[in-house]
Amino acid sequence: MEKIRASSYNTGIASEYLVLSLFYRQGFEAYISLGNKKSIDIRIVKSEHETLSIDVKSVRGYSSLVVNNVISAPNHFIIFVVYNNNFEDLKTHPDIFIVPSIELSTITETYEKEKRVLKGKLKSYKDRWDYISKRKQDNDY
């Protein structure tokens, strides 16, 4: 059990820093939150009056992603990082899905008391970095 927990922790940390690096490559002012009991993984400062919060969820394989502790709020996004069983292969890049948290309930299903998102429901969110880059007045996320 300890090996699974370490594996899950490493996947989560690797994914948070991967997403953080992608924000920096796009020119964002982004900050990572430290600790493993947090609801916001990354904060983006777009202007003096506008910030975005990011919750990064990741899996090495894929059947579904648990989203029990995800909040729904304006300017909050969930970024799913799916490694498709290729976590250790550094030449293979994971799939990345950007979902405005206010849309999460439309793609979430409940299985055995857990809220989960199935891969098929994420297709339209693949590589949707434009959700993050849009100005506040351009949308209501």
What CATH code is carried by the domain that includes residue 96? 3.40.1350.10
Report yes or no on 140 lying in a domain: no
Q: What is the pLDDT of residue 119?
A: 83
CB 87 within 8 A of CB 120: no
CB 97 within 8 A of CB 118: no
Please give the Cα distance from 51 to 132 (Å, whole number).
10
Please give the Cα distance from 30 to 39 (Å, whole number).
16
Report yes or no on 141 lying in a domain: no
pLDDT tens-place values along the chain, 141 residues long:
455 555 888 899 999 999 999 999 999 999 998 866 677 999 999 888 889 999 999 999 877 888 988 889 999 999 999 999 999 999 999 999 999 999 999 999 998 889 999 888 999 999 999 999 874 444 454
Report yes or no on 109 lying in a domain: yes
Report yes or no on 75 lying in a domain: yes
The count of structural domains within the chain is 1
CB 23 within 8 A of CB 46: no
Three-class DSSP category at 121: helix
CB 70 within 8 A of CB 104: yes
Structural domain boundaries, residue 100: 2-135
Q: What is the pLDDT of residue 4?
A: 52
Please give the Cα distance from 51 to 61 (Å, whole number).
32
- Evaluated on CA atoms 99, 103, 107, 109, the torsion sign reads positive
